[in-house]
């Protein structure tokens, strides 16, 4: 029985090494040379990705921080994961066909749930609809966790999480669960380190966002300003960005007609509107629902013309200094500190404005700042990072077989995947995550992970114990960096399990 | 055991506590943090029914032939002594769902449970999430929102956050905000989070650290829960009271744990109960919705029972939901998302005044909101504000911080 997972583990290792070798040959002459000691390297690795691993630290040491950062800033969003992990992702339902077909297939279940001939038929259709939705959400979650745990492009995985949270949608509304994987892969990841403007446009045309913030209900004869408000308040300028209620209403008028069409049949469009109608998969712009009057937004007149009004408005929003400040401060809070240095935020914001929202250019001042690798003033880990970093540290060579317990822990710790109901996303600061109850739960989870996390790594269909990994390299690397009281407590442990449990429970491990 | 007998003895003595008395205790509590004895302290529990429960089949408009016309397949029959499937009589206009006969009806008859029809929020989205959020935030609808400021958090800030506990795995939006509120889901038996040896080592690592006090508070709370709610202890209390041959389970068990904690140091609580989104086959006197009512009713009665008469007299429990459902049944023997709801108010010290409270309106096609739903005549913030002014003695200024821009509505409920 254990032969299979051992084989898989070796494959995992091999491809990681091959990738690192490739990276080392890459040669990036423009990257600055930034010398770091071991403690700074650990901090930098902990910050740029989902938690330092032995392999990642070796890669940074081999390449140097500058070339490593430059490589992370230019990810290949289509890069394959280590072999067995990629094979699992390829086999998922969310990897088959396109999203419009999957949503339409499920929609037919939903409709039969209402209209089936007999009650048995209706019940079976409703069940099939719920199962299709549940499976899509579970698979999207599992794929995300596999990427975060094993991808070499750790910064891409950080940014993908950050942008999903920034452009948050909740899985519980209507058919959004079926749209999550496509939302990640088409609206967010391709732009995660690319153009903020392009991402804003892709989000505004994605059915997940249009559904979530009710823009599919927004029409000239029934204005719904939900998306318009959050687009200004949460996605671009920030609540104190200087826009008015009038701007919200005018933006809502611009957004009229942007909606979702699940039915593959063409929509009914009056002949005079045919040229202006747009359809791309589930997205539609329906000119019959659009308000063609002129709009006044942020002191600018937007001529009523149809879908392209929105492009003009998004250009305008990306050029606002308030947007640059709001987005850059949020990035700095996420990566660096609950109170990031204002001069660093300024440097990022001016890069953002100069490049019209080039995210890699915006990130450079932060990634190359002394603060990023500094070992004082650490940042408290949120539950997602706490869990991911503990698995990456303790079990980096092991393949996550069952993602469900991990998804359950995330939920219990208050940060379930796709589970934030409100559009503001999960909070990024310590005070949201370090309450007494949450710390206690962390200790409980730390014990389960520290004693081997068997539920995550046990080969399917078996029930035996899972051997502890060799923790010696980890201990040798970590112990010199710990506070004396933590070292003192760890010295009293009597087994690798207890050592790992305590280290994961320590104040040192709560920060990065 | 002795404690329960003591409570019963106290309850028998003439120790009626008026609204003014509650006011005084609340004010003292809020200002001085003095250790008020548990029995002279007002307590409030919010029960949120997530999913928009069908209020029209809870508080049944038995006086309305319109109701019977519009719900031909799911209506509950008018009260009839010989028909166990008929509504329980409340007054000339209203009856109660028969699934509550054994649990809640006795409380109604004792004047310890009342219903507020046509209650709800001005939010008109008819979306579960949107409306739940806006209710829990309790901020003016239509303006910019602060998603990190729920109304129970703002209430806790006016009272004493140390006495607030959310009986949920995650902190609900209602309790989110600047004041730190603890939470602990009570569906499972509470156990200490770590064993004694690791606890000592963890404590040594956090000694003198920024999170030291937080960690100690969390571990101690869990130990307190494990101690106060241990299965042995719960069973001993139950046996001592000589009731419940069948052990409590499901929501009733959870409710007993909640009451046990609220009898102790917690006086502001929140619990949510799901499973109310009955679009299809909701049933009538029996069936899906009746089963939910039965379980909920049993749990609520268990809270009154577990608190004991003396503490129950100082406690109010408000049951709310994000919206009511369509007045007419739909094509699937269910109901769809509507607007006005019916809230439940329970407490051992409710003012007298009949089983149905608040502004009401005769039910006709014309009086339905948008010709489909109950209208909202009793805004939840105004009603809760009026209740809390009496119960906690909140000043107008304090209430304005809890519910900005809201005029309290004093229905003289306590």
Final residue of a structural domain among A317, A338, A355? A317
A306 and A423 co-located in one domain? no
A 10 A CB-CB count for B39 gives 17
Q: Do A272 and A189 share a structural domain?
A: yes
Choose among B132, B204, B215: nearest Cβ to A439: B215
DSSP letters for A5-19? HHHHHHHHHHHHHHH
* Same domain, yes or no: A131 and A273: yes
Residues of chain A with Cβ-Cβ distance to B219 below 8 Å are: 440, 443
A25 CB burial (10 A radius; 0-12, 13-18, 19+): exposed
Question: DSSP assignment of B14-31, as one string?
Answer: S----HHHHHHHHHHHHH
Q: What is the DSSP letter of A287?
A: G
For residue B255, what are the contacts with CB-CB under 8 A and spacing of at least 6? B271, B299, B300, B302, B303, B306
Task: Assess whether A158 and A144 both reside in one domain.
Answer: yes
- Using a CB-CB cut-off of 8 Å, the residues of chain B touching A437 are 182-184, 218, 221
In chain B, the residue whose alpha carbon lies closest to the alpha carbon of A439 is B215
Residues A142 and A272 in one domain: yes
Q: Clarify whether residues A49 and A101 are in a common domain.
A: no
What pLDDT shows up at residue B32? 36
Query: Is A13 a member of any domain?
Result: yes
Neighbours of A91 (CB within 10 A): 10
- List, for residues B227-281, the tens digit of each pLDDT value: 888 888 777 766 665 555 466 678 999 999 999 999 998 999 999 998 898 888 8
Please tell me whether residues A470 and A490 are part of one structural domain. Answer: yes
Measure in Å the smallest separation between the Cα of A219 and chain B Cα atoms: 15
Query: pLDDT grade, residue B106 (50/70/90)?
Result: very high
Architecture of the domain delimited by B18-190+248-402: 3-Layer(aba) Sandwich (3.40)
Express as a percent the part of chain B with pLDDT over 90.
66
Question: Residue A11: what pLDDT?
Answer: 41
For residue range B12-57, what is the model confidence (pLDDT) as tens digits? 333 333 333 232 333 333 333 344 454 579 999 999 999 899 999 9
- Residue B35 pLDDT: 45
pLDDT computed for residue B331 by the predictor = 82
Q: Domain count of chain A? A: 4
- Average pLDDT over every residue of B96-109: 98
Q: Is residue A52 part of a domain?
A: yes
Asked, for residue A397, whether it belongs to a domain, the answer is: yes
Rounded to whole angstroms, how far apart are CA atoms A194 and B310?
Answer: 65
Taking the CB of residue A105, how many other CB atoms lie within 10 A of it?
14
3-class secondary-structure state, position A327: helix
Count of all residues that appear for chain A in the document: 512
Cα–Cα distances in angstroms (integers) from residue B239 to residues A436, B189, B224, B303, B307, in the given order: 33, 18, 22, 17, 15
Same domain assignment for residues A263 and A128? yes
Q: Which residues of chain A have pLDDT under 70?
A: 1-30
Q: Strand B378-379 to strand B315-321: parallel, antiparallel, or no bridges (unpaired)?
A: unpaired
Does residue A77 belong to any structural domain of this protein? no
pLDDT value for B243: 54
Instruction: Give the residue with greater pLDDT, B295 vs B168.
Output: B295
A147 and A252 share one domain = yes
Q: Are residues A392 and A368 in the same domain?
A: no
Question: Which H or E run includes B196?
Answer: helix B196-206
pLDDT at B335: 93
Min Cα separation A258/chain B (Å): 19
Whole-angstrom CA distances from B78 to B88, B315, B335 are 8, 32, 20
In a domain, A264, yes or no: yes
Residue B23, pLDDT score = 29
Please check the confidence at residue B289 and state whether its pLDDT lies above 90: yes
CA nearest to B255, candidates B321, B351, B349, B319 = B319
Q: Which whole-number Å values give the CA distances from B346 to A143, B216, B274, in the listed order?
A: 47, 35, 20
Q: How far is A145 from chain B (nearest CA, A)?
A: 22
A78 found inside a domain? no
pLDDT at A466: 86
Q: What ipTM describes this predicted complex?
A: 0.89
Cα B211 to Cα A387, A442, A480, B217, B218: the distances in Å are: 19, 13, 22, 10, 11
Is the domain of A333 the same as that of A467? no
Nearest by CB to A435, from B182, B207, B222: name it.
Answer: B182
Distance from CA of B129 to the nearest CA of A (A): 7
Nearest chain A residue (CA) to B124: A224
* Amino acid A26: pLDDT: 39
d(C-alpha B198, C-alpha A158), whole Å: 33
pLDDT at B200 over 50: yes
CA distance A447 to A456: 14
Q: Which residue of B has its CA nearest to A213?
A: B130
Q: Which residue has the tokens 């329980």?
A: B88
The closest of B395, B399, B393 to B21, measured between CA atoms, is B393
- Spell out which residues of chain A touch residue B132, defining contact as CB-CB under 8 Å: 421
Domain boundary residue among A294, A317, A340?
A317
Q: Which of B171, B202, B281 sits opposite A414 (nearest CB)?
A: B171
- Alpha-carbon span B205 to B1, nearest angstrom: 40
Contact B282, B74 (CB under 8 A): yes
What are phi and psi for residue A285, nearest 5 degrees? Answer: -110, 115
Shared domain check, A347 and A450: no
B394: which strand partners? Answer: none
| β-sheet with B182-183: strand ranges across | B182-183, B164-166, B268-273, B43-49, B315-321, B341-347, B113-120, B378-379
Contact across the interface for B173 and A422, Cβ inside 8 Å: yes
Q: Which domain holds residue A102?
A: 87-236+242-317
Long-range CB pairs of A467-472 (<8 Å, 24+ gap) are A468/A496, A468/A497, A468/A500, A469/A394, A469/A395, A469/A397, A469/A398, A471/A394, A471/A496, A471/A499, A471/A500
Q: Does B202 contact A505 at a Cβ distance shorter than 8 Å? A: yes
Q: What is the pLDDT of residues A328-384, one digit of tens each?
A: 999 999 999 999 999 999 999 999 999 999 999 999 999 999 999 998 889 999 999
Domain membership flag for residue A79: no
Residue tagged 């901020």 (tokens): B139
């Amino acid at each position: 029985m254990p032969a299979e997972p051992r084989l898989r583990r070796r494959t995992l290792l091999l491809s990681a090494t091959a990738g690192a070798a490739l990276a080392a040959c890459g040669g990036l002459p423009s990257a600055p040379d930034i010398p770091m000691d071991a403690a700074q390297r650990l901090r930098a690795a902990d910050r740029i990705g989902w938690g330092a691993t032995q392999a990642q630290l070796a890669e940074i040491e081999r390449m140097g921080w500058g070339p490593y950062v430059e490589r992370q800033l230019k990810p290949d969003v289509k890069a394959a994961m280590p072999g067995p992990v990629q094979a699992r992702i390829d086999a998922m339902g969310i990897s088959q066909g396109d999203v419009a077909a999957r949503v339409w297939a499920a929609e037919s279940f939903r409709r039969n749930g209402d209209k089936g001939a007999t009650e048995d038929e209706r019940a079976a259709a409703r069940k099939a609809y719920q199962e299709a939705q549940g499976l899509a959400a579970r698979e999207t979650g599992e794929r995300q966790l596999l990427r975060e745990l094993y991808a070499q492009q750790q910064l891409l995985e950080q940014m993908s999480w950050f942008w999903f949270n920034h452009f948050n949608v909740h899985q519980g509304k209507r058919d959004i669960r079926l749209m999550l994987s496509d939302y990640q892969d088409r609206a967010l990841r391709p732009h995660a380190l690319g153009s903020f403007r392009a991402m804003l446009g892709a989000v505004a045309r994605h059915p997940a966002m249009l559904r979530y913030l009710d823009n599919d209900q927004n029409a000239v004869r029934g204005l719904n300003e939900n998306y318009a408000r959050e687009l200004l308040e949460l996605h671009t300028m920030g609540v104190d960005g200087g826009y008015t209620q009038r701007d919200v209403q005018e933006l809502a008028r611009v957004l009229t007609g942007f909606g979702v069409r699940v039915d593959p049949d063409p929509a009914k469009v009056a002949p005079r509107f045919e040229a202006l109608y747009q359809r791309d998969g589930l997205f539609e712009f329906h000119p019959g629902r659009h308000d063609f009057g002129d709009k006044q937004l942020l002191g600018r007149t937007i001529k009523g013309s149809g879908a392209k009004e929105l492009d003009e408005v998004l250009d305008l929003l990306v050029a606002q200094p308030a947007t640059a400040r709001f987005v850059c401060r949020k990035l700095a809070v996420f990566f660096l500190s609950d109170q990031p240095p204002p001069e660093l935020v300024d440097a990022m914001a001016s890069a953002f404005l100069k490049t019209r929202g080039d995210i890699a250019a915006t990130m450079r001042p932060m990634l190359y700042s002394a603060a990023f690798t500094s070992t004082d003033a650490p940042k408290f880990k949120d539950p997602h990072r706490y869990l991911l970093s503990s698995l990456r540290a303790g079990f980096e060579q092991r393949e996550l077989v069952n993602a469900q317990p991990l998804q359950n822990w995330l939920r219990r710790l208050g940060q379930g995947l796709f589970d934030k109901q409100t559009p503001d996303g999960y909070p990024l600061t310590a005070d949201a995550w370090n309450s007494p109850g949450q710390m206690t739960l962390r200790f409980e989870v730390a014990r389960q992970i520290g004693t081997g996390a068997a539920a995550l790594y046990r080969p399917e269909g078996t029930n035996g114990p899972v051997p502890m990994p060799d923790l010696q390299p980890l201990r040798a690397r970590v112990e010199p960096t710990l506070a004396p009281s933590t070292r003192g407590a760890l010295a009293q442990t009597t087994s690798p399990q207890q050592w790992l449990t305590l280290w994961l429970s320590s104040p040192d491990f709560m920060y990065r | 055991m002795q404690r329960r007998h003591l409570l019963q003895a106290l309850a028998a003595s003439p120790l009626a506590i008026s609204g003014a008395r509650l006011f005084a205790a609340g004010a003292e509590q809020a200002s001085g943090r003095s250790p008020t004895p548990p029995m002279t302290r007002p307590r409030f529990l919010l029960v949120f029914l997530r999913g928009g429960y069908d209020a029209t089949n809870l508080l049944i408009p038995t006086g309305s032939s319109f109701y019977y016309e519009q719900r031909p397949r799911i209506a509950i029959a008018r009260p009839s002594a010989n028909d166990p499937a008929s509504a329980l009589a409340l007054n000339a206009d209203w009856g109660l769902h028969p699934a509550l006969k054994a649990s809640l009806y006795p409380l109604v008859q004792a004047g310890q449970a009342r219903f507020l029809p046509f209650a709800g929020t001005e939010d008109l989205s008819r979306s579960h999430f949107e409306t739940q959020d806006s209710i829990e935030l309790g901020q003016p609808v239509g303006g910019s929102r602060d998603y990190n400021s729920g109304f129970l958090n703002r209430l806790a800030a006016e009272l004493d956050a140390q006495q607030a506990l959310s009986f949920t795995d995650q902190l609900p939006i209602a309790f989110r905000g600047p004041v730190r509120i603890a939470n602990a889901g009570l569906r499972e038996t509470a156990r200490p989070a770590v064993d004694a040896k690791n606890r000592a080592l963890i404590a040594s690592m956090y000694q003198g650290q920024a999170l030291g006090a937080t960690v100690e508070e969390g571990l101690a709370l869990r130990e307190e829960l494990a101690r106060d709610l241990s299965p042995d202890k719960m069973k001993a209390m139950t046996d001592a009271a000589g009731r419940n041959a069948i052990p409590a389970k499901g929501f009733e068990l959870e409710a007993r744990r909640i009451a046990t904690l609220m009898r102790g140091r917690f006086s502001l609580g929140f619990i949510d109960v799901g499973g109310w989104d009955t679009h299809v086959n909701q049933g009538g006197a029996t069936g899906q919705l009746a089963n939910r009512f039965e379980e909920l009713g049993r749990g609520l009665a268990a809270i009154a029972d577990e608190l004991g008469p003396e503490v129950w007299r100082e406690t109010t429990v408000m049951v709310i939901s994000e919206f009511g459902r369509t007045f007419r049944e739909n094509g699937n023997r269910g109901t769809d998302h509507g607007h006005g709801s019916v809230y439940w108010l329970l407490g051992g010290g409710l003012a007298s005044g009949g089983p149905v409270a608040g502004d009401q309106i005769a039910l006709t096609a014309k009086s339905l909101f948008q010709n489909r739903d109950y209208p909202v005549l009793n805004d939840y913030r105004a009603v809760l504000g009026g209740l809390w002014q009496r119960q906690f003695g909140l000043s107008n200024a304090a209430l304005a911080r809890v519910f900005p821009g809201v005029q309290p509505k004093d229905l003289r409920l306590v």
